[in-house]
Amino acid sequence: MEFDPVLLARIQFAFTISFHIIFPAFTIGLSAYIAVLLLTWLKTKNDKYHRLARFWTKIFAVSFAMGVVSGIVLTYQFGTNWSRFSEFSGNVIGPLIGYEVLTAFYLEATFLGILLFGWNRFPNWLLALAAVLVAIGTATSAFWILSANSWMQTPAGHEIRDGIAYPVDWLQVIFNPSFPYRLAHMLNAAYLTTAAVVLAVGARYLLGRRFVEESRTMLRMAVGMIAISAPLQLFIGDLHGLNTLEHQPVKVAAMEGHWDEAKGSAFVLFGIPDQEVRENHYEIAIPGLGGLILTHEWNGRYAGLEQFPSDEWPPVANVFFTFRLMVGIGLFLILIGFWGAWLWWRGQLFTSRLYLLTSSYVWPLGFIAILAGWFVTEQGRQPWLVYGHLRTIDGISPVPAASVLGTLALFVFIYGIIFAMGIYYINRLIERGLSPEAREPSEGLPNRPLSAAEEATREALGRGPGTSGYSAQEMKP
């Protein structure tokens, strides 16, 4: 049986990077939320913010660990799977990845240590500062990674000599045309996703009449955040779309299932794009609306797929459907935000069972939308690896398909186990809930929420490691 090594390498990379992005997307948002909680606690002196910050820090620790181990893999996969791409682009985006390691990786690690291990050792202001710096670190990480990714989408500030890209202007490389939009879209997505998780957890507790005071705070903060960030996401997405239309028009044509400029610019609500016959089956479309969305002018025309050579088309159906999935979830979250804000205004936010029940299921939506969005933009870049310069087929490593297939199977097997266990443990932490104040765990079987549990135990024992040695007993939950 013959396998296509390019397709296999793409599947493997898509799998490992999709697994990875789930955790940073959550920790970017969660670190900011924890920082806000701690700053509010400092300002109001209300202990419920402290309890919430501690609870979310435990979950943060689990997610962060899984993000770290899956992130290390990626640093090497550029070389193992895409060696020709690494050589082509190393001069230009290599330093961006390098700066991510040095500015963000270490900043996060440094102050995460203080945040996880420092609750009883350091003054409150230092804890809050650590949380703020971790939040800045995670966002800085996104800055560099998205800059490198955006350069692959809209390369700028470079020149190509002998088939290798060389930097000419670093500011143009870093702030390439699609970068500001992509960064804003992804950071806001991370905050929105986290707000949806906080909303779901708060709603779940309220339905079970647990931690009522803290849950109401979670609900208010989450609803407020979603009511603002979900519509904002639509606005940023629109700007991002216009930017894509300018720089990667064929991607937009695929996103919209838009085949031919001459046939108008209807907005396709539903359809099944068929690349063979070059049309959408079962299409339901609103004439002229597509033009309004993309040119901000009713019936405005924009290029369809037919206006480009078909060997430069991305896989149309994949891009079309994942785009609709992302937008659908985005619109639903706007509804959740506005509905919640309205109930809040009416004073029914904590009593509307229908709203609480609906909200308690929204936690995975942001993650699905983020994955869908990345599938749109990355598959939409095909057949290019570096848009306009290097085709995916030319970026691959000289590695036999069997090696890629074998390691892909290993990745699926091992990541599958780890993902299932990680979700299971996070769910157990949520089920266990907030601890009222520091005290020794009373359960027979202690659940050690990763590093955070060590800290909780240390707090229970009333002292930390370091000053006079620390014992294994202290390290145990």
Report the C-alpha gap between 109 and 439 in whole angstroms.
27
46-65 residues near another protein, rule: CB under 8 A:
62, 65
List 295, 308, 425, 438, residue binding another protein (CB under 8 A): 425
Nearest-10 crossing angle of helices 5-44, 124-153: 150
Which residues lie closer than 8 Å to 222 by C-beta, 6 or more apart? 195, 196, 198, 199, 202, 340
Nearer CB in complex with another protein: 170/235: 170
Nearest-10 crossing angle of helices 450-461, 106-117: 40
Nearer CB in complex with another protein: 101/331: 101
Q: What is the largest CA-CA distance in the chain?
A: 79
Specify the stretch interacting with another protein by CB under 8 A; choose among 41-49, 68-76, 199-207, 266-274. 68-76
166-185 residues near another protein, rule: CB under 8 A:
166-167, 170
Binding mask 427-466 for another protein (x = CB under 8 A): -x------------x-xxxxxxxxx-xx----------xx
- Token pair for 381: 């870049």
Task: Kindly state the smallest distance separating residue 408's Cβ from another protein, in Å.
Answer: 10
Residue 80 touching another protein (CB under 8 A): yes
Binding mask 344-383 for another protein (x = CB under 8 A): ----------------------------------------
Question: For the chain, how many helices (H) and strands (E)?
Answer: 16, 6
Residue 90 touching another protein (CB under 8 A): yes
Q: 145, exposed or middle or buried, with CB in 10 Å at 0-12, 13-18, 19+?
A: buried
* Identity of residue 238: D
List 92, 192, 206, 349, residue binding another protein (CB under 8 A): 92
Task: Kindly state the smallest distance separating residue 144's Cβ from another protein, in Å.
Answer: 11
Task: Kindly state the smallest distance separating residue 38's Cβ from another protein, in Å.
Answer: 21
Specify the stretch interacting with another protein by CB under 8 A; choose among 46-54, 105-113, 283-291, 366-374. 105-113
Nearer CB in complex with another protein: 122/332: 122
List 333, 397, 458, 459, residue binding another protein (CB under 8 A): 397
Task: Kindly state the smallest distance separating residue 25's Cβ from another protein, in Å.
Answer: 19
List 3, 46, 47, 113, residue binding another protein (CB under 8 A): 113
147-166 residues near another protein, rule: CB under 8 A:
166
- Backbone φ and ψ for 476, nearest 5 degrees, come out as -95, 150
What is the CB-side half-sphere exposure of residue 309 using CA atoms within 13 A? Answer: 3
Nearer CB in complex with another protein: 307/407: 407
Task: Kindly state the smallest distance separating residue 220's Cβ from another protein, in Å.
Answer: 31
Least Cα distance to 149 among 97, 216, 184, 98 occurs for 97
Nearer CB in complex with another protein: 18/110: 110
Residue 120 touching another protein (CB under 8 A): no
Q: Residue 2: which region, alpha, beta or left (left: phi > 0; alpha: psi -120 to 50)?
A: beta
* Identity of residue 153: Q
Report the C-alpha gap between 65 and 431 in whole angstroms.
20
Report the C-alpha gap between 325 and 372 in whole angstroms.
7
Cα separations (Å) of 41 from 59, 134, 161, 212, 460? 19, 17, 56, 18, 21
Specify the stretch interacting with another protein by CB under 8 A; choose among 44-52, 270-278, 336-344, 416-424. 416-424
Classify 416 as helix, strand or coil.
helix
Residue 420 touching another protein (CB under 8 A): no
Classify 273 as helix, strand or coil.
strand
List 234, 272, 335, 421, residue binding another protein (CB under 8 A): 421
List 49, 117, 323, 375, residue binding another protein (CB under 8 A): 117
Task: Kindly state the smallest distance separating residue 217's Cβ from another protein, in Å.
Answer: 27
Residue 234 touching another protein (CB under 8 A): no
Nearer CB in complex with another protein: 181/411: 411
List 15, 99, 332, 342, residue binding another protein (CB under 8 A): 99
Report the C-alpha gap between 306 and 304 in whole angstroms.
5
Cα separations (Å) of 471 from 403, 444, 459, 464, 476? 46, 21, 13, 10, 9
Task: Kindly state the smallest distance separating residue 97's Cβ from another protein, in Å.
Answer: 6
